[in-house]
């Protein structure tokens, strides 16, 4: 009998440091599968963010650079501009990308850098212990919003995929989730497509992934998936926001 499920070549054997039930690991696997299927591992450079995924290079088996907090798209720009033959992707959290790194992501997209951005929206600062993120939901508790996010003081959560879709330069912008097996399968397709656009040198590509952080949400992994589906998905609608074909 043939093997039906195996570890992608682009994933190392290391055990991850992620908390039980955290979806970072799922997305790592999807990225690794896409890299394998496109056969680009030996030509790929990943950029690790500052956030829980800072050690992504321990798990995804290709060249990696580690950026400062929020600066991954600028670093990816530097690599891609001097080595357009390399496939360059960033993997960033919502604090990293939508707060401190807002300038870098918008401008990289607007220049149409031929890079791929995997954006993990877990509505919280995971690594530093559950502080409020720009993506935290109104009323959602965080260690810096103990009574829940007060939108009157801190504004409404930023919808990055929506915002990115307003950029006129052609690009691929999609929002996916990894809360259910069907969603994981769709997310995988989107991630692969995002890399394909880069391989074909077509455009900038951006995949927002609605994720969970059971630890800092103070929920079990199962409850986290449920909460994310009930609370995050109505506000962060899934689907393609922009494709280069429509431009």
Partner 1 sequence: MAKVLMKGNEAIGEAAIRAGCLNYFAYPITPQSEVAEYLSKRLPEVGGTFLQGESEVAVGYMIFGASGAGERVMTTSSSPGISLMSEALSYIAAAHCPAVFVNIVRGGPGLGGILPSQGDYFQATKGGGHGDYHLLVLAPDGVQEAVEMTMQAFTLAEKYRNPVMVMGDGMIGQMMEPVEFPDDLKTEPTNKDAWATNGMSTRKSKTPNLVKSLFLDSAELNRNNLDLKAKYEQMKKEDVQYELYNADGDYQILIASYGTMSRVCRTAIDMLKAEGIEAAMFRPKTLFPFPEKQVYDAAVKDSCKCVISIEMSMGQMVEDVQRCVMGKKPVEFYGECGGEIPSPEKIIEIVKELIG
Ligand X SMILES: Cc1ncc(C[n+]2csc(CCOP(=O)(O)OP(=O)(O)O)c2C)c(N)n1
- Residue 120 in contact with ligand X, rule: CB under 6 A: yes
Q: By CB under 6 A, name the one of 10, 45, 52, 238 that touches ligand SF4.
A: 52
Nearest approach, Cβ of 20 to ligand SF4 (angstroms)? 8
Q: Give the whole-angstrom CA distance, residue 116 versus residue 198.
A: 7
Q: Give the whole-angstrom CA distance, residue 215 versus residue 224.
A: 9
For residues 105 and 112, the answer to whether their CB atoms sit within 8 Å is no
For residues 58 and 12, the answer to whether their CB atoms sit within 8 Å is yes
Nearest approach, Cβ of 123 to ligand SF4 (angstroms)? 10
Neighbours of 176 (CB within 10 A): 25
- Widest pairwise Cα distance in the chain: 60
- Residue 74 in contact with partner 1, rule: CB under 8 A: yes
**Helix spans in 70-180 (H):** 72-82, 94-95, 102-111, 151-154, 160-165
Nearest approach, Cβ of 219 to partner 1 (angstroms)? 27
Q: By CB under 6 A, name the one of 31, 32, 45, 53 that touches ligand X.
A: 53
- Residue 22 in contact with ligand SF4, rule: CB under 6 A: yes
Question: Residue 157 binds which one of ligand X, Mg ion, partner 1, none, with CB within 5 to 8 A depending on kind?
Answer: none
If the CB atoms of residues 87 and 123 are measured against Mg ion, the closer one turns out to be 123
Residues that bind Mg ion (CB under 5 A): 93-94, 122, 126
């Amino acid at each position: 009998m043939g093997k039906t499920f195996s570890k992608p070549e682009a994933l190392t054997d290391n055990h991850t440091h992620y908390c039980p039930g955290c979806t970072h690991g799922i997305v790592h696997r999807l990225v690794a599968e896409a890299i394998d299927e496109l056969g680009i591992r030996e030509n790929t450079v990943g950029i690790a963010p500052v956030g829980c995924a800072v050690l992504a290079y321990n798990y995804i088996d290709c060249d990696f650079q580690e950026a400062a907090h929020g600066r991954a798209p600028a670093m990816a720009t530097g690599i891609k501009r001097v080595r357009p033959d390399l496939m360059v992707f960033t993997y960033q959290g919502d604090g990293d990308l939508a707060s401190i790194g807002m300038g870098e992501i918008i401008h990289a997209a607007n220049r149409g850098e031929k890079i791929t951005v995997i954006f993990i929206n877990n509505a919280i600062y995971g690594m530093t212990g559950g502080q409020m993120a720009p993506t935290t939901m109104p009323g959602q508790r965080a260690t810096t919003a103990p009574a829940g996010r007060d939108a009157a003081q801190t504004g409404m959560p930023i919808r990055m995929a929506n915002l990115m879709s307003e950029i006129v330069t052609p690009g691929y912008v999609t929002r996916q989730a990894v809360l259910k097996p069907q969603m994981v399968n769709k997310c995988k397709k989107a991630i692969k497509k995002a890399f394909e656009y880069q391989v074909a040198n077509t455009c900038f590509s951006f995949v927002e992934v609605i994720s969970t952080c059971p630890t800092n949400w103070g929920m079990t992994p199962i409850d986290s998936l449920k909460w994310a589906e009930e609370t995050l998905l109505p506000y962060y609608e899934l689907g393609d926001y922009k494709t280069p074909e429509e431009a």
